Amino acid sequence: MAFETISYEAHENWYDKCYPDEQARLDAISKWIEQKKKPTIGYFLHQRLFSLAVPLLEAQTTWLTIGDGYGFDANFLTENGCVATATDISDTFLALSRKVGLIENYSIENAEKLSFADASFDYVFCKEAFHHFPRPYQAVYEMLRVARKGIILIEPHDPISRMPLLLALRNVLDNFQTNLLEKIWKNRYSFEEVGNYVFKLSERECEKMAMGLHLPAAAFKGIQNNYYQPNTANEPANNSSKTFKKLRRKITFHTLLARLGVMPYQVLGAIIFKEMPSSQTLAKLKKAQYRTYIFPKNPYISGNK
């Protein structure tokens, strides 16, 4: 059996293992709804990821979410005036999420072979799902196929792409033994319990994919957000919590270190545009501290000379 088939089956069954009955699933949905009213640290960290999509949010734009197991991504988009369709490879939660009114539309989809027609949606939103796919680049090309304006990926950041000292160290150590760097970089090769290798995303990879398809632009923003701990996730996200105040200080400090180039950002928001973003969108991206790159046109393509 091909590994991608093994991976598909493992991910299809994952939520059923974690939430074996309908009551457990309803409890998970209810917990999310309750956290909207009384935000927890876990919810706060989740919202920081959602904030990376804010510059693209416009009323009535159509969105497709990928790997949206609970439908929470589509719910966020809908609450911000967009028309969203949630998708996931598993059917464990999405029908239930629609039943309780969390989402309006959903489809059970394999991200590497989407069933939608070309340019079916304005944007495709893939948050913390790219790294689960056995063939993630195939999934990216599928997302680009069904998008009209562009796609946004929110994923773990590949640190070596922004840390020249780490790259230099790897180059030196690899001359002696190719696994020496793993003694320092402990999660160089990361796997998750569900069975997938954790693909980390870099600006350069997205840039190359965009240029290969002759696309016009891309935008990137890094944030520090890898602070989820099960034992503190349910603490209140307000100043009554010492843990939350400590977390805010840590985020501020680590963000400063990243801006100084001392450490990489933990999470990358990457937007690949299929059409040139409007001046209004470019202004929103700048305000949100995205770095936007307008790519040169291929001089060997007819009409670009």
pLDDT in tens, 267-292: 999 999 999 999 999 999 999 999 99
CA 95, 97, 98, 100: dihedral to nearest 10 degrees? 120
pLDDT in tens, 193-207: 899 999 999 999 999
Right CATH for 3-294 from 3.20.20.20, 3.40.50.11740, 3.30.465.10, 3.40.50.150? 3.40.50.150
> Per DSSP, what are the bridge partners of residue 124?
64, 151
Give the chain's length: 305
Residue 162 CA to residue 183 CA, distance in Å, equals 20
Residue 126 structure tokens = 């893939």
Looking at residue 201, what is its pLDDT?
Answer: 93
Residue ranges of the alpha helices (H) in 123-193?
136-146, 164-174
Residue 52 CA to residue 28 CA, distance in Å, equals 24
Residue 29 structure tokens = 């949905």
210: nearest Cα among 157, 151, 161: 151
Q: How confident is the model at residue 187 (pLDDT cuts 50, 70, 90)?
A: confident
Q: How confident is the model at residue 304 (pLDDT cuts 50, 70, 90)?
A: low
Residue 238 CA to residue 39 CA, distance in Å, equals 8
Residue 236 structure tokens = 């209140």
pLDDT at 188 over 90: no
Q: How does the average pLDDT of the chain come out, rounded?
A: 93
106: nearest Cα among 119, 118, 89, 82: 89
> Per DSSP, what are the bridge partners of residue 219?
271, 292
The one-letter amino acid at 175: N
The ranges assigned to domains in the chain are: 3-294
pLDDT in tens, 24-51: 999 999 999 999 999 999 999 999 999 9
Residue 25 CA to residue 283 CA, distance in Å, equals 41
pLDDT in tens, 129-148: 999 999 999 999 999 999 99
Percentages (nearest 5) of helix, strand, coil residues in the chain: 45, 20, 40
pLDDT in tens, 218-259: 999 999 999 999 999 999 999 999 999 999 999 999 999 999
Report which of residues 265 and 174 the model is more confident about.
265
Q: What is the mean pLDDT of residues 78-100?
A: 97
pLDDT at 305 over 70: no
Question: Long-range contacts: 241-247, Cβ < 8 Å, 24+?
Answer: 241/41, 243/41, 244/41, 244/44, 247/41
Looking at residue 94, what is its pLDDT?
Answer: 97
